[in-house]
Chains A and B, each alone.
Chain A
Amino acid sequence: MLFYLFAILAILSAAYVVLTRNLLYAGFSLLITLLSIAGIYVLLFADFIAVTQLMVYVGGVLVLILFGIMLSSRVHNKSVLSESVNKVWGTLVAGLLLVGLSYAILKANIASLPWLQNTEIEVLGNQKSTVQSIGIKLMTDFVLPFELASLLLLIALMGAAYVATEKQNA
């Protein structure tokens, strides 16, 4: 099944992000993780979210991260490496989190929740994609968060440009 292929790919490449010491390898392995999550979104009938994931994460955030690696490491003397600390405690905390979450998910018996049972499996009906309904919702129900989001992006971009600029004399 395609979902399990994507899931195994996502988990393996995410684990490689943690395991490798080379920053560039970690960045490109994160690329594979994000791409497989976009594939899973398509399988979950969320085509618009998948395209947004591709454009924002793979096209934007990952390029930013690669720029950050390039600009914040001394590339010329071989060291684009990052050492790990707290290995034992980190593994312990993450493992306990994973066990606890898995236990809760498996015990929760989600399939028998009442509001999940009386929804139909036929997700989109006669509608071919979610783009039209998401667009209508953005302009009606979610118009205030949409405008606030544009304001937030403007402020974040201005702030990032201001922070990253080299000051002449402080």
Chain B
Amino acid sequence: MEQIPLEHILLLSAALFSIGVLAVISKRHAVVVLMGIELIFNAANLNLVAFSRHDPALLQGQMFSLFVILVAAAEAAVALAIVLRVYQYFKTANLSEVATQE
């Protein structure tokens, strides 16, 4: 089986990271901003796993990406709970409208 070039994986990860940053900057619904953050996490994980391929004995990249996935799951749970509270309090999940209310 042919080896995937490392640069191509890194370029894919850079593209996913930029799309995630674009989602975080330009979207106004809080849940879509969370989706952008998940995309950024996945881009970082992809880099870790790609370099871990060259480290077969230690697998440090894969271990690190395992903990990144775990922290991302905890973050998603807490963030969605906060979004639900914000929605109950302000009756909107739109970040611009939340920011302009007092």
Q: Which A residues have a C-beta under 8 Å from some C-beta of B? A: 1, 3-4, 7, 10-11, 14-15, 17-18, 23, 26-27, 30, 33-34, 37, 40-41, 43-46, 48-49, 52-53, 56-57, 60-61, 64-65, 67-69, 71-73, 82-87, 89-91, 93-95, 97-98, 101-102, 105-106, 110-111, 115-116, 119-121, 123-125, 130, 133-134, 137-138, 142, 145, 149, 152-153, 156-157, 159-161, 163-164, 166
Closest B-chain residue to A71, C-beta based? Answer: B84
Q: Which residues of A contact B30 (CB under 8 A)?
A: 72
Given A64-B77, A82-B94, A160-B78, also A72-B69 (CB < 8 A)? no
A85 CB → nearest B CB, Å: 6
The residue in B28, B75, B76 that gathers the most chain A C-beta atoms within 10 A of its C-beta is: B76
Given A56-B73, A65-B31, A145-B67, also A156-B38 (CB < 8 A)? no
Given A134-B63, A156-B78, also A26-B35 (CB < 8 A)? yes
A-B contact pairs, 10 of them (CB 8 A): A11-B15, A34-B42, A49-B45, A72-B87, A90-B21, A93-B25, A97-B18, A101-B17, A152-B71, A163-B84
Task: List residues 57-102 of chain B with CB under 8 A from any CB of chain A.
Answer: 59, 62-63, 65-67, 69-78, 80-85, 87-88, 93-94, 96
Q: Which B residues have a C-beta under 8 Å from some C-beta of A? A: 2-12, 14-23, 25-32, 34-36, 38-39, 42, 45-46, 49-50, 52-56, 59, 62-63, 65-67, 69-78, 80-85, 87-88, 93-94, 96
Once the chains bind, are B81 and A164 in contact (CB under 8 Å)? yes
Given A11-B12, A43-B4, A61-B76, also A98-B26 (CB < 8 A)? no
6 further A-B pairs in the complex, CB-CB below 8 A; given A94-B21, A137-B63: A14-B15, A34-B42, A49-B69, A72-B84, A82-B32, A153-B70
Once the chains bind, are A57 and B4 in contact (CB under 8 Å)? no
Once the chains bind, are A163 and B81 in contact (CB under 8 Å)? yes
B53 CB → nearest A CB, Å: 5
Once the chains bind, are B80 and A97 in contact (CB under 8 Å)? no
Once the chains bind, are B78 and A11 in contact (CB under 8 Å)? no
Given A10-B16, A60-B73, A73-B93, also A93-B32 (CB < 8 A)? no
Q: Which residues of A contact B39 (CB under 8 A)?
A: 14, 17, 30, 33
Closest A-chain residue to B20, C-beta based? Answer: A14
Once the chains bind, are A83 and B84 in contact (CB under 8 Å)? no
Q: Which residues of A contact B6 (CB under 8 A)?
A: 110-111, 116
Given A119-B54, A134-B59, also A64-B11 (CB < 8 A)? no
The residue in B7, B29, B59 that gathers the most chain A C-beta atoms within 10 A of its C-beta is: B29
